[in-house]
Amino acid sequence: MSHIAMPVRTVADWGGVHEWTVDAVRALRTHGHGVTMVGAGDLLEERARAAGADFVVVDWADLEAAASILADAVPQADLIYAHGPQARMIAVDASGVLDIPVHVMCHGAYHDYMYEWAGRVESVSAASPSLMYFVQQVGKVEPWKCQLVANGVDDLVFDLPVIDIDAKLEGGVGRVVTAARLAKDKIRQIDVVRDVLVGCVAQYPDVEWVVDVYGDGPERQFFENSYRMMSDELKNGRATFHGWIPPSDIPRVLNGAAVAVMAGMGGVRSVASGTVTVAAGARDVLGVQVGRNLRAGIFSNFGDHGCPRFEPTPIGRDLQDILRPGRYAEVVELGRSILRRTNSQSVVDGQMLGALQLIQ
């Protein structure tokens, strides 16, 4: 079996890249491969070690030293699997010392001067079809080096019960959920939540609507102020901020929500969990995830990676159609059936192992 050095550069305490790489560690260890993660952050280290990885701490402010630490820490490594531009930088430098191949995972639509280093790496994987297009057309990476390794969701999440809208509104309370890092790239979700609330109140005016906000980040105060003003304006939609909770708890939260406004990995998890989902990412708002909107959401990682020349259908009109008993359950079942075949963790694990050309 192989040993994988995995440098991971993250910019927050927790988020999608953290979850993706910890899931990757778990899959690699399950298949008998060794992993040494190289990065920073107490929470990342704790969860990477719990998944079975060794962990080496580096200071991302000193990339030359980080590359040396990487090369010294894993002399037994067979390959380097880098996540994030700075992780890619130290991976390429360390590979020259270790004489082993580098595989790069692209999680976002940043060009990272790919055309300058693509010839020095073995492969470039992308987290969505949109990024596959991006790394080839913008990054100028040789197409044969590019492979899709999507965002995955634990297979068991797809087996959560389908709860129809009437059952979700029992007791007179309906929940709209968001779960994301509260940073500038997620600010557009605020206006989308407003559109969702307007649609929900129009359909069920006697229901008390609550916005549950999971996650934290540098713009939390802005989010709190915005949601407070929104609630005052609409006379409904009181927001509660829960901070970060364990990732394993999020699917059950989503399963009980009437509507979720999500992006990226959160969008995948939301559809899989069994709630009507509105995609609102760093690049695009793609509307209620049904029909063509869902096709665009899967293409673009639910709005985080960009979906050129696409116009979503209106949120209010779609909610009027979908927030009805029977129709709601139909939309939920179809969406999760599609994603079960494209984004279940077992499918994604196979994509990753194939991209790295490792024994499964």
Over 80: is that where the pLDDT of 13 sits? Answer: no
Q: d(Cα 49, Cα 36) in Å, to the nearest integer?
A: 9
Global confidence as pTM: 0.91
Lowest average pLDDT, out of 12-26, 231-245, 248-262, goes to 12-26
Q: d(Cα 107, Cα 130) in Å, to the nearest integer?
A: 11
Instruction: Determine the pLDDT at residue 111.
Output: 82
Instruction: Determine the pLDDT at residue 12.
Output: 74
Instruction: Determine the pLDDT at residue 11.
Output: 80
Q: Residue 93 — very low, low, confident or very high, per pLDDT cuts 50/70/90?
A: very high
Over 90: is that where the pLDDT of 360 sits? Answer: no
Instruction: Tell me, rounded to whole angstroms, the distance of Cα 331 from its chain centroid.
Output: 21
What are 319-336's pLDDT values in tens digits?
A: 999 999 999 999 999 999
CA atoms within 13 A on the CB side of 25: 27
Asked if 26 and 9 touch (Cβ cutoff 8 Å), the reply is: no
Q: Which of 359 and 122 is assigned the larger pLDDT?
A: 122
Q: d(Cα 10, Cα 12) in Å, to the nearest integer?
A: 6
Burial bucket for residue 29 (CB in 10 Å: 0-12, 13-18, 19+): middle
Instruction: Determine the pLDDT at residue 208.
Output: 97
What's the rounded mean pLDDT across residues 120-138? 95
CA distances from 272 to 177, 205, 323 (A): 14, 28, 18
Token code pair at residue 306 = 């960009």
Asked if 301 and 131 touch (Cβ cutoff 8 Å), the reply is: yes
Task: Look over the chain and give the mean of its residue pLDDT values, rounded to a whole number.
Answer: 95
Over 90: is that where the pLDDT of 14 sits? Answer: no
C-alpha closest to that of 198 among 224, 232, 163, 236: 236
Residue with tokens 């197409």: 143
SS3 305: coil
Asked if 266 and 180 touch (Cβ cutoff 8 Å), the reply is: yes
Over 80: is that where the pLDDT of 15 sits? Answer: no
Output b/e per residue, 124-151; b: 16+ Cβ within 10 A: bbbbbbbbbbbbbeebebeeebbbebbb
DSSP code of residue 313: P
Sheet arrangement for strand 123-126? 54-57, 34-39, 3-7, 79-83, 102-106, 123-126, 146-148
Instruction: Determine the pLDDT at residue 50.
Output: 96
Q: What are the φ/ψ torsions at residue 34 (nearest 5 degrees)?
A: -85, 150
Token code pair at residue 248 = 């394993």
Q: Residue 110 — very low, low, confident or very high, per pLDDT cuts 50/70/90?
A: confident
Please give the torsion angle defined by the CA atoms of residues 18, 22, 28 and 34, in that order, rounded to the nearest 10 degrees.
100
Over 70: is that where the pLDDT of 296 sits? Answer: yes
Instruction: Determine the pLDDT at residue 273.
Output: 98
Token code pair at residue 52 = 């079975």
Token code pair at residue 332 = 């939920």
Ramachandran region of residue 170, left (φ > 0), alpha (ψ -120 to 50) or beta?
beta
Token code pair at residue 42 = 């107490």
Domains of the chain: 3-152+345-355 (3.40.50.2000), 155-342 (3.40.50.2000)
CA distances from 304 to 33, 273, 314 (A): 31, 19, 19
SS3 239: strand
